[in-house]
Amino acid sequence: MPMKPEKLEQFRVMLTQKINDLLEDAGKTISEMTSGSKENFPDPNDRASLESDRNFELRIRDRERKLIAKLQEAIRRINEGTFGICDTCGGPISEKGFWQGPSPHNVSTARPNRKNLKSW
């Protein structure tokens, strides 16, 4: 049974909002890193702490960049009408599966605790 249009729109709005939030955070990071006010640390330990913090922030933003791509893929699947349909078996993915990740493509990723089918 395909997902209802109201539910699809709810997911679209939620995904779009998440993308906007992530892009806003990225913009703040860029503006903080390009402002040279925190650059003058004569103490090597303070300088090392600043560099460590920057590296950590950049790793977070890289992970968020990858998440944005997955969120955009989910929106593309909503637009194409394939959101909520398993790529492997063509069956519906339960709504609970979407709360585990932005874009499950098959039933097994939507239900990671699923038992092996051979045991059924």
pLDDT digits (tens, 9 = 90+) for 19-43: 999 999 999 888 888 876 556 777 8
Nearest Cα residue to 64 out of 110, 97, 18, 31:
18
pTM comes to 0.73
What is 55-100 written as a DSSP string?
Answer: HHHHHHHHHHHHHHHHHHHHHHHHHHT-TTB-TTT-PBPPGGGGGS
What are the extents of the domains in the chain? 5-119
- Report pLDDT digits (tens) over 104-114: 665 555 454 44
Q: Does domain 5-119 have CATH number 1.20.120.910?
A: yes
